[in-house]
Amino acid sequence: MPASASASHSLGAELKADPAIASAIDTIVERVAERSAQITDVRPAREGASESYEALMKRAAATKGRDLLYPYIGSGLGNGALVELADGSVKWDMISGIGVNFFGHSHPEIVRAQVESSLEDTTKHGNLLSGFEAYRFAETLLAEAQKNSRLSQAFITTSGAMANESAIKVCYQKNAPASRVLAFRNCFMGRSVTMCQIGDSAGGRQGIPLTTQVDYMPFWNEEAAAKLGGKKAFIDHARWRLEQYIERYPGMHACFIFELVQGEGGFNTAPREFFVELMEICRAKGIAIWDDEIQSFGRLPRMFAYEQYDLGDYVDVFCVGKMTQACATLYTDEYAPKPGLLSGTFTGATSEFTVGTRIIEMLRDGDYYGDTGLIAKHHDAFRRLSKAMMDKHPDWFPKVPFYPENPGGIGGMMRFTPFGGDRAKIQAACKACFEEGVVLFYCGHGPYHMRMLPPLGVMKLEDWPRVFDRIEAALARVASR
């Protein structure tokens, strides 16, 4: 933790600059690295560990009231894209906590930042009383965001859903008395009462009173566009739908929520023109353009999705989380909230800010972005091996209506669709992959897809064949049933 994080001449600054403490931190990082280096490949549980691991699983399930979706309890150690479980088994982590752990497991820089954060006098920071780490995180994030957008201020909060809650409050306040929200079909916004109503998943809002007024727009679909007569015809149809909503509820839409790459909805993408046409209408009508990048941030061939599609000038409100550890809502000067609207006891823990700041710095300074960056290279490797598997086993991959692109996704958001996207078979395939030593998950809403959010900050290009050998073995098990 830099000494600048504390006031100069303070005892706190002296503590953080103490050579003995620096040496102790170096020792901890070195010892973790020594253990981490012993993890080199997938392996089964250690002999005799199964019974105690099962007991841990039962204790975890008892606290939730139901079994865990995956029998996963980490040991606290890993090596890059490999993670060790508490029974001593090792697996390829291709979902990274639904995208949280972009730099994998036991990364020395992350370990160092975590240990440095333990020197802080309290664990949590808040809006009333805080150390500087929360503001340093916000400064670092804003410095990158402002390179290609008008975003100027940030509010830090405790989760992606709360970042979205802050965003909708900002939009409502600026455009009061507007009370309606525009969103894309198959969007996902989080698990709070408001966000689960906006998210396009019936199961996610079952039993919840519907008090948020949402109008859903079609998201780009290549096959549907072909049926309508091409890209322009589809975009014209989307424009018409948007204009119909605006005409039906004049002046009542506070915002349009854009997931430029849909996450839970299926890793769906769209051409820039599709977004531009809709954003131009919103801008003309004074409807806030809200860019939700909680799942996509950092994973595309550009750091921000709005950079990927050259849309930064349109964005009024922006949300980020997951990979950044701490979560934030960013907004332009025009959308800055009045005092009292955004607050809360917690902004987050010191470790979230120190690690989050370091992650943004590593993304900024690493060779991840651009057409020839590491993320683009990893996506090419994923597509090449997926295609090879599909060519080898065409019966596992029947054509999925309205999803002609298989494999799909962009950058570090990767999906492929076996078994026609059948939910039960996709879930069985995910479970079989876990048993074979690869942790991944699914997304979409019929069809369902197998998705990866790999830790591309540490994964090696030569790892991909080893991962796909195990995926192929898992799919073979499901196909034979």
SS3 404: coil
Strands (E), 10-79: 74-79
Higher pLDDT, 460 or 405: 460
The per-residue pLDDT for range 384-441, each reduced to its tens digit, is 999 999 999 999 999 998 887 899 999 999 999 999 999 999 999 999 999 999 999 9
> What is the DSSP annotation of 327-339?
EEEEE-GGGPPPT
Tell me, what's the pLDDT at 3?
Answer: 46
> What is the DSSP annotation of 66-101?
S--SS---EEEEEEBTEEEETTS-EEEESSHHHHT-
Q: At residue 226, does pLDDT exceed 50?
A: yes
**Averaged over 323-333, what is the pLDDT?**
98
Q: At residue 6, does pLDDT exceed 60?
A: no
Q: Which CATH superfamily is domain 38-99+373-481 in?
A: Aspartate Aminotransferase, domain 1 (3.90.1150.10)
The per-residue pLDDT for range 24-44, each reduced to its tens digit, is 999 999 999 999 999 999 999
Tell me, what's the pLDDT at 404?
Answer: 77
Tell me, what's the pLDDT at 369?
Answer: 98
% of the chain residues with pLDDT over 90: 95
**Averaged over 296-311, what is the pLDDT?**
98
Tell me, what's the pLDDT at 2?
Answer: 53
Omega before residue 407 within 30° of 0, cis: yes
Tell me, what's the pLDDT at 7?
Answer: 56
| Banded model confidence at residue 45, pLDDT cuts 50, 70, 90 | very high
Q: What is the largest CA-CA distance in the chain?
A: 70
% of the chain residues with pLDDT over 70: 98
Other beta carbons within 10 Å of 101: 25
Provide the residue ranges of all domains of the chain, joining segments of one domain with +: 38-99+373-481, 124-365
**Averaged over 56-64, what is the pLDDT?**
95
| Banded model confidence at residue 8, pLDDT cuts 50, 70, 90 | low
**Averaged over 159-184, what is the pLDDT?**
98
Higher pLDDT, 352 or 2: 352
CATH classification number, 124-365, choose in 3.30.1950.10, 3.40.640.10, 3.30.365.10, 3.40.630.10: 3.40.640.10
Judge whether 347 and 125 are in contact, CB under 8 Å. Answer: yes
Higher pLDDT, 48 or 163: 163
The per-residue pLDDT for range 351-376, each reduced to its tens digit, is 999 999 999 999 999 999 999 999 99
Give the pTM. Answer: 0.95
**CATH fold match for the domains 38-99+373-481 and 124-365:** no
Q: At residue 298, does pLDDT exceed 70?
A: yes
The per-residue pLDDT for range 75-99, each reduced to its tens digit, is 999 999 999 999 999 999 999 999 9
Which residue, 250, 255, 256, is CA-closest to 238? Answer: 256
Tell me, what's the pLDDT at 1?
Answer: 53
Give, for 196, the enclosing helix (H) or strand (E): helix 193-198
Structure tokens at 445: 């809403």
How many C-alpha atoms does 387 have within 13 Å on its Cβ side?
8
Angle at 310 between CA 304 and CA 313, to 5 degrees: 90
d(CA 132, CA 86): 35
Name the DSSP class of 43.
B
**Averaged over 253-280, what is the pLDDT?**
97
**Averaged over 100-121, what is the pLDDT?**
97
Mean pLDDT of the chain: 96
**Averaged over 242-270, what is the pLDDT?**
97
Tell me, what's the pLDDT at 50?
Answer: 85
